[in-house]
Structure 1
Amino acid sequence: MQLFIGGTCAGKRGVVRQRFDAPHWHSAHARDRLEAWPSVADTACLVLEGWERWIGERLAAEPDDDRLRQAMVRELDALRAWEAEQGGQAVLILLEMGRGIVPLGLDNRRLRDLNGWLAQDTAARCERVWYVWNGLVKELSC
Structure 2
Amino acid sequence: MQLFIGGACAGKRDLVAARFPGAAWYRVDEAGLEGREHDLRPGAALVLTGWTGWLERALAEEPDDDRLRGRLDAALEALVGAEAACDGEVVLILPEIGRGIVPMEAADRRLRDLAGWLAQDVAARAEAVWYVRHGLARCLRQVNPRGDAR
Question: What is the TM-score of this pair, normalised by structure 1?
Answer: 0.93
1:96-111 map, 5 Å = 96-111=96-111
Counterpart position of 1:35: 34
> 3-state SS of the aligned residue for 1:21?
coil
Deviation per residue, 1:52-102 (Å, 9 max, x gap):
221111112111111111111111111100011111100000000041421
1:34-73 map, 5 Å = 34-42=33-41, 44-73=44-73
Superposition misfits of 4+ residues, deviation over 4 angstroms: none
Overall identity of the aligned pairs, in %? 53
Structure 2 unaligned residues grouped into runs of 5+? 142-148
Counterpart position of 1:117: 117
CA shift for structure 1 position 50: 1.4
Between 39-48 and 112-121, report the one with greater CA deviation: 39-48
Counterpart position of 2:80: 80
AA of the residue aligned to 1:68: L
1:4 and 2:13 aligned: no
- Between the aligned partners of 2:15 and 2:129, the Cα distance in structure 1 is 13
- Between the aligned partners of 1:100 and 1:118, the Cα distance in structure 2 is 18
Counterpart position of 1:20: 20
How many positions carry a matched residue from both structures? 141
Structure 1 unaligned residues grouped into runs of 5+? none
1 or 2, which has the higher helix percentage?
1
Question: What is the TM-score of this pair, normalised by structure 2?
Answer: 0.88
> 3-state SS of the aligned residue for 1:60?
helix
Root-mean-square deviation (CA, aligned residues, Å) is 1.5
The 8 Å contact of residues 3 and 91 in structure 2, kept in 1 or not, is answered as: yes
- Between the aligned partners of 1:85 and 1:39, the Cα distance in structure 2 is 11
- Between the aligned partners of 1:40 and 1:69, the Cα distance in structure 2 is 22
